[in-house]
Amino acid sequence: MSTSPGRAIGHQVGPSYTDGTAILNGVWSPNQQASATVFSTNPQDLCYQEVEIRLRSTVVAHSSTGYEIGFKVSQSSQAYFFIVRWNGALGNFTILLQTFGAQYGVKTGDVVSASVVGNTIIGYKNGVEMGRATDNVYAAGNPGMGFNLGDQSGTCGGSNPDYGYTNFQASEIVVP
């Protein structure tokens, strides 16, 4: 992960599931939300460019846990939205929800957001709910962001700077 004025991008160069990930510091309430504005300069369906929000997440050496809410940078029918639970080891995750279709894809200017309250995780695009899942595994952790870059075509190397976020914010949700 890196930031420059007005941009955050991932730097995935390794094998699958080594998404660039950044988790915020501090002690967070279990009820949390995050949102970010997407930018994309060169969407490529074969590159599986994904923007992700992380909730209740913890990253330590050789382990990533928590919830990931992701969108494919695409406007085609190959776009998707998902909610997954990362279980620790590289590549060890559980799909809680995955949907496909152009309506789930994101482009420059779209605002993606997600929340977790109790055991309910919800993802949004431009304020519209895209899907929800329930899970009881993680009750603590921090919000953050991530970016995936797959390379099914062998032509995606170096395209990490082509997509990411222009802003990101996270907050705790106060439940009455």
Maximum CA pair distance of the chain? 51
Three-state secondary structure of 82-97: EEEEEEECCCCEEEEE
pLDDT value for 158: 82
pLDDT along the chain (176 residues), means of 10: 92 79 96 98 90 97 96 96 96 96 98 98 98 98 94 80 96 92
Going along the chain from its start, the domains and CATH numbers come out as 9-169 (2.60.120.560)
Q: Is 104 helix (H, G, I), strand (E, B) or coil?
A: helix
pLDDT value for 175: 86
Q: Please state the pTM of the whole predicted model.
A: 0.94
Residue 144 CA to residue 25 CA, distance in Å, equals: 9
pLDDT value for 130: 98
Per the CB < 8 A criterion, the answer to whether 108 and 140 are in contact is no
Beta bridge partners of 118: none
